[in-house]
Amino acid sequence: MERKKLINQLPVWLRVGVYFTVIIIGAYIAGVVPVLDSIFFYFGIALLLSFLFLKAEGKPLTSLDFMPACATDGKNFFIGLLIGLLALLTSAGLTIWFNGSRLIFTGHADPVFLLILIFIHLWSSFAQEFTYRGYPFQRLLTWYGPWVAQLAVTLPFAVMHLKLNTAITGQQFFMTWLTTGMGSILYGLCYLRTGKLILSIGLHFGWNLAQALVPRSPEEGKTMLFTLIQDGRHYHPLHVLLPYLGITAIMMFFIWKSSTLQKTKKETGNLAS
């Protein structure tokens, strides 16, 4: 009982700070101990921390709005999936066009591998949305409003996309923060728009799945379906970045203004707050 009182006396920003600090330390340890470098390990930490904080608050894990409960949730998931797929394919098409590159079909699509890929990215998308748009985002949203919640989560979301035991330049960190930060705000907007994590899980899943199948840059090179042929003289990183930023901005506008998407719980915040 005393421990619960102590946790509840902590300001929300400190609880969220502890939450992300533990997760980042866990990510660093996983980088040193490769056997731990798994989405299951990161999700396990997030699940345990969320459970402990929510238990102290007298609330269940399901209060984080990640469970589908009605037809609207299913509809929002598939709308998110479709948006994510189309957005990545559009971004990839523009990048390939700008860079003067082309895709060659590998000639083989293993259905078993494809099913495994679908499962992996669905699980990964759920775990990431639960971790970042679950307890920390929703508590910041309730106490400090959408702008603070959106911006505060972008930094730890970016950090988790870095190799923490590998040196990086300031420019690399900024670019990672910019690109993942835009994605983080987009997924947060999905929650603000619908009041649940279902839409953001669907969109995240669609984007990552398409990204795993369609290479856009020499770093990605080859996937199960395609090989990217790129003349190095014509390649420029901005041809990857600008389509991504433009398509992400369009998605944000569509999601915020769309009358197709429906809220499935009482509103907790909006961008006008």
CA-to-CA separations, 210 to 142, 143, 221, 223, 231, in angstroms, rounded: 33, 36, 14, 10, 23
According to the model, what pLDDT value does residue 5 have?
65
Vertex 239: Cα angle to 233 and 241 (nearest 5)? 135
Kindly state the tokens that stand for 255: 């999601």
Q: How far is CA 179 from the centre of its chain?
A: 11
Kindly state the tokens that stand for 13: 């920003």
pLDDT per residue as tens digits for the range 148-192: 999 999 999 999 888 777 788 888 899 999 999 999 999 999 999
For the segment 8-25, the average pLDDT, to the nearest whole number, is: 92
- pTM of the full predicted structure? 0.91
| Distance separating alpha carbons of residues 46 and 128, to the nearest angstrom | 9
Asked if residue 268 has pLDDT above 50, the reply is no
Kindly state the tokens that stand for 171: 């420019």
According to the model, what pLDDT value does residue 127 have?
97
According to the model, what pLDDT value does residue 106 have?
87
Q: Where are the alpha helices (DSSP H) in the chain?
A: 2-9, 12-32, 39-57, 71-98, 111-133, 135-144, 146-159, 170-194, 198-213, 238-257
CA-to-CA separations, 198 to 40, 67, 253, 270, in angstroms, rounded: 20, 8, 19, 18
Asked if residue 270 has pLDDT above 60, the reply is no
For the segment 221-242, the average pLDDT, to the nearest whole number, is: 89
For the segment 40-68, the average pLDDT, to the nearest whole number, is: 95
State residue 270 phi and psi, 5-degree precision: -150, 165
According to the model, what pLDDT value does residue 1 have?
59
CB 161 within 8 A of CB 132: no
According to the model, what pLDDT value does residue 273 have?
33
According to the model, what pLDDT value does residue 34 have?
87
pLDDT per residue as tens digits for the range 190-199: 999 999 999 9
For the segment 204-212, the average pLDDT, to the nearest whole number, is: 96
Find where tokens 């990183």 sit: 237
Asked if residue 2 has pLDDT above 80, the reply is no
Provide the β-strand partners of residue 226. 105
Give burial (CB, 10 Å; 0-12/13-18/19+) of 50. buried
pLDDT per residue as tens digits for the range 92-110: 999 999 999 999 998 888 8
Asked if residue 31 has pLDDT above 70, the reply is yes
Asked if residue 130 has pLDDT above 60, the reply is yes
| Distance separating alpha carbons of residues 252 and 238, to the nearest angstrom | 21
Asked if residue 6 has pLDDT above 80, the reply is no
For the segment 234-257, the average pLDDT, to the nearest whole number, is: 94
Tell me how crowded residue 268 is: count the other CB atoms within 10 A of its CB.
Answer: 16
According to the model, what pLDDT value does residue 265 have?
52
CB 44 within 8 A of CB 236: no
Least confident span in 40-44, 64-68, 234-238: 234-238
More confident residue, 249 or 10: 249
According to the model, what pLDDT value does residue 158 have?
93
Asked if residue 216 has pLDDT above 50, the reply is yes
Give burial (CB, 10 Å; 0-12/13-18/19+) of 186. buried
Asked if residue 272 has pLDDT above 50, the reply is no
Region of 59 on the Ramachandran plot (φ > 0 left; ψ -120 to 50 alpha; else beta): beta
Sign of the alpha-carbon torsion through 235, 159, 84, 254: negative
Confidence class of residue 226 from pLDDT cuts 50, 70 and 90? very high
Provide the β-strand partners of residue 102. 229
Find where tokens 């702008």 sit: 147
Vertex 261: Cα angle to 124 and 253 (nearest 5)? 85
Sign of the alpha-carbon torsion through 192, 196, 199, 200: positive
